[in-house]
Amino acid sequence: MAETRVGVVGAGIVGLAIARGLALARPGLKVTVLDKEDRVAAHQTGHNSGVAHAGLYYAPGSLKATLCRRGIGLLKEFCADRNLPYVECGKLVIARDAAELGALEEIERRATANGVPGLRRLTGGALTEIEPHATGVAALHSPTTAIVDFPAVARAFARDVADAGGEVRLGFEVVRIGRAGDRVTAASPHEELTFDRLVICAGLHSDRVARLAGDSPAPAIIPFRGEYYRLVPSRTDLVRGLIYPVPDPRYPFLGVHFTRRVDGGVDIGPNAVLALAREGYRRRDVRPADLWDTIRWPGFRHLARRHWRTGARELYGSAVKRAFVAEARSFVPELTTADVTPAPAGVRAQAVDPDGSLVDDFRIGHLGPITTIRNAPSPAATSSLAIAELIAFSPPSGLAALHRR
């Protein structure tokens, strides 16, 4: 019997988890991961906050809610098995004033419906027992929210792929995808490979690669740079775990927050400003082709008209350090501008529909033997092992056929 071959485009944590899941589910299956970079986890996986989310915010019954709750359990087990850092430092979601109490109650309702364990509603005085330097009128405490080293997890996934007989092909930029009967080809400028199935999980370029496979233009990826500051070492005692705001329900972004890292540092951020390049980690990074793709997308123009005030506020926080710190100080009043130093930024691949709607839930599509992951923002890293289960075993994916052959 001919060998069955599966290609996965994208060596971020989700693509590697999918490749690993397929390789382990059927010994003998030939899985090949393709990525244009010279290392795994080069983009979103390597630039995120390192938080393993417990499932507080997501609409009950959504893919985010279901896969996050399943995924965090699998991730915890995986980290324990591989001796990788996994620290349940806990999260406080803080309502700063009475106007935010209704939204905090909605988060508590969702988290309870999603089965998040150990939740506690705290008054303003009680929240200081968890975070002595924080302030607010009320808070929701999630003790099982954790911090991990996602690039290390991704590298462990890549090793599992190789140990199962698969391959991670770095420096392979997919520029063309074709279909011939029940076969799929993926080509770089120098080489063409043939597969029985192909999974596209290309993060910041997911829409472009999906279009190579014949998928629709929508949704398009609009890149948002998330900028961070970091507490200087002498002030990391201001934060014990994770301190989050009550998010604005109009946006999938969570707002500026405090994140303890597994190395002991504490980051503050991110904001959300339009990136002028899909891999625009620095303000000076500008790629005209990326910027043109953003501007010409009808959804971006609708989004800009609808939310220009919010965008202007985010830009001001980006340009003026004291404005950024002032937002963070509304949760930790002792914070000063002298307490922080710039930290590396990340870029979020935000999917936007033609009407300007920000796509919130995971969005996964199918084109015969091709599976396209068109939107996989946070909590995708937390959910990666559960997403892998879905892709490998869900009948609509077309990949389930591999387990019947």
Token pair 């709750």 in the structure block, residue: 69
Q: What is the pLDDT of residue 397?
A: 42
Burial class of residue 342 (count of CB atoms within 10 Å of its CB; 0-12, 13-18, 19+)? exposed
Neighbours of 107 (CB within 10 A): 22
Q: What pLDDT sits at residue 252?
A: 57
- At position 327, the amino acid (one-letter code) is E
Q: What is the pTM of this model?
A: 0.95
Q: In this predicted structure, what is the pLDDT of residue 307? A: 86
Predicted confidence at residue 181, as pLDDT, reads 81
Structure tokens at 129: 């027992």
Which of these, 204, 179, 194, lies nearest to 41 by C-alpha position? 204
CB 110, CB 104: distance < 8 Å: no
Residue 27: per-residue pLDDT: 81
Rounded CA separation 87/104 (Å): 25
Q: What's the rounded Cα separation, in Å, for the pair 319 and 278?
A: 20
What is the structure's pLDDT at 2?
66
149 contacts 262 by C-beta, under 8 angstroms: yes
Q: How far is CA 37 from CA 20, 42, 193, 202, in A?
A: 19, 7, 18, 12
Kindly give the residue spans of alpha helices, DSSP state H, lying in 230-352. 288-296, 298-319, 321-329
Peptide bond into 379 cis (omega under 30): yes
Contacting residues for 116 by C-beta, under 8 A, at least 6 apart: 54, 55, 56, 69, 142, 144
Sign of CA dihedral 85, 44, 321, 53: negative
Say which amino acid occupies 73. Answer: G
Structure tokens at 80: 């324990």
- Do 9 and 150 form a contact (C-beta atoms < 8 A)? no
Paired tokens of 360: 């919130």
Q: What integer pLDDT is reported at residue 79 of this predicted model?
A: 98
Q: What is the pLDDT along the chain (405 residues), one digit of tens a residue?
A: 468 999 999 999 999 999 999 999 888 899 999 999 999 999 999 999 999 999 999 999 999 999 999 999 999 999 999 999 999 999 999 999 999 999 999 999 999 999 999 999 999 889 999 999 999 999 999 999 999 999 999 999 999 999 999 999 999 999 999 998 889 999 999 999 999 999 999 999 999 999 999 999 999 999 999 999 999 999 999 999 999 999 876 665 667 899 999 999 999 999 889 999 999 999 999 999 999 999 999 999 999 998 888 888 888 888 899 999 999 999 999 999 999 999 999 999 999 999 999 999 999 999 999 999 999 999 999 999 999 999 987 654 444 444 333
Say how far apart CA 56 and CA 111 lie, in whole Å. Answer: 4
